[in-house]
Amino acid sequence: MMKPFLIAALLVLPGAAFAQTAPAPAASPAAAAGKLTHDTPIQDIVADAQGKAVIDKHLPGLIGLPQYDMIKGLSLKQLQPYSDGKLTDEILAKTAADLASIK
C-alpha cells in the first residue's frame, strides 16, 4: 500500500500539463452501468462510497491533494504515466480487483 507521503509525490507535472487533457464526461459508461475500473474517471470512482473506500485504501491522500481538481477527470490508468513510477501496475491491479468486487 502506498504511504500518504508518497501520494504527494505522485503528481510530478505542473498543472499546465493537465490542462491539455480533455475534460471527462460527467459519468463514464462504466460508472453509469455500475462497473468501476481503473479506466473510470477518478471523480466517478469517489462518487461511489465503496469506490472512494478503494481509492483511500490503495492511494491514501489522493483525494486530498491540492491537485485533485486537475486530475479528477482522469482515470487511474491515465494518471499512471504522470506518477513518476509511484502508481505501479501492481497498485493498479489491486485497485482494479477491489473495484471489480463492488456490487
The CB-side HSE value for 96 (13 A sphere, CA atoms) comes to: 15
- Summarize pLDDT for 6-64 with one digit per residue, the tens: 444 454 433 434 334 444 444 445 555 569 999 999 999 999 999 999 999 999 999 99
**pTM of the shown model:** 0.69
- Summarize pLDDT for 52-79 with one digit per residue, the tens: 999 999 999 999 999 999 999 999 999 9
- Summarize pLDDT for 91-100 with one digit per residue, the tens: 999 999 999 9
Torsion angles phi and psi, residue 41, rounded to 5: -55, 140
